[in-house]
Homo-oligomer: A and B are copies of this chain.
Amino acid sequence: MKSVIIIGNGPAGISAAIYLKRQNIDPLVIGKDLGALEGYESEIENYYGFAKPIYGKDLIRNGIEQARHLGIEVITDSVISVKPLEEGFHVITPHGQYETRVVLLATGKTRRTLHRTGFSKFKGKGISMCATCDGYFYRRKKVAIIGCGPYMMHELEYLKKISSDVTIFTDGNPLKYEVDIPVVTDKIIEFMGDEKLSAIKTENQTYPIDGAFIALGIPSSVEFASQLGVIIEKNNLKVDDNYMTNVPGLFAAGDVIGGKLQIVKAVYDGMNAADAIYQYLAHN
């Protein structure tokens, strides 16, 4: 069993890793490929220490190199699920699975969204970002899952248990998996309904739907946290003074916990979370 898995290879995650390593703890950092990283696509001029503005992704790349230079293991993979164990957590990616005593969520806060007519209107009214959180409300109903990758497949497993009428919408992307349920590969045009979602309109057809679950890309920290029962306030994970959520051993740092969405704040969080995790490991 590992001591600490850090999900996220940005400022908060890497800073935490650096400070854990100083405490003689070897964290495993799991983060996105830089190509898949959202944000960090502009020049940064307000993070102290760079004579000239630094391109966001270069800063992220530097951080990863910095961690590796200190002997920290940073792997490129997508965490699709975090599950509680009796002690610790089970972290699952498409390429591996790990057991760990502590998880630090530091994925940043890219809000997954679909820029289509009706999305905002029906979010929370038929459109959900979390199958394990909201799936139960749609048992035995007509359910759509929107996505095409490993995270979609993971969420699908759960949805299939609650409904026998599930359709995959890939929104124009190819599906690389063999499945035994209907698949719509058309691009989605609109989410339709009156008070609540009642249909999804694609380029070619309109499908009656009671609940649509978004499982595009990989889940955000807010989504992992929801699955684990973490208290979320205004879309931020609620943490105590020690950066721990209400789930013992589950810590969070950086943009996911709210506050100023600034690099230095994320780096500062990382340092403090590392110290708090060190204390937690020493006493548990």
A interface vs B, CB < 8 Å?
Answer: 11, 14-15, 18-19, 22, 45-54, 59, 61-63, 65-66, 69-70, 260, 262-265, 267-268, 270-271
Would you call A62 and B49 a contact (CB within 8 A)?
yes
CA distance A49 to B65 in the complex (A): 9
Q: How many copies does the complex hold?
A: 2
Most chain B CB atoms below 10 A, which of A46, A262, A263 = A46
Closest to A51 in B: B65
Would you call A15 and B51 a contact (CB within 8 A)?
no
CA distance A49 to B50 in the complex (A): 9
Q: What are 6 inter-chain pairs, A to B, with CB distance below 8 A?
A: A18-B48, A48-B66, A48-B263, A49-B63, A50-B66, A51-B66
Given contacts A15-B48, A48-B263, A49-B63, could you give 14 more A-B pairs where the C-beta distance is less than 8 Å?
A: A14-B48, A22-B46, A45-B69, A47-B49, A48-B63, A49-B62, A49-B267, A50-B62, A50-B66, A52-B65, A264-B264, A264-B267, A264-B268, A268-B268
Would you call A260 and B271 a contact (CB within 8 A)?
yes
With a cutoff of 8 Å between Cβ atoms, the chain B residues found around residue A65 in the complex are 51-52
Shortest C-beta distance, A176 to chain B (Å), equals 35
Q: Which of B22, B50, B271 contacts A264 (CB 8 A)?
A: B271
With a cutoff of 8 Å between Cβ atoms, the chain B residues found around residue A268 in the complex are 264-265, 267-268
With a cutoff of 8 Å between Cβ atoms, the chain B residues found around residue A265 in the complex are 268, 271
CA distance A231 to B22 in the complex (A): 34
Q: Which of B19, B49, B59, B62 contacts A59 (CB 8 A)?
A: B49
CA distance A75 to B54 in the complex (A): 24
Shortest C-beta distance, A120 to chain B (Å), equals 30
CA distance A54 to B69 in the complex (A): 13
Would you call B48 and A11 a contact (CB within 8 A)?
yes
CA distance A276 to B268 in the complex (A): 18
Would you call B267 and A48 a contact (CB within 8 A)?
yes
Closest to A60 in B: B49
Shortest C-beta distance, A1 to chain B (Å), equals 27
Shortest C-beta distance, A112 to chain B (Å), equals 26
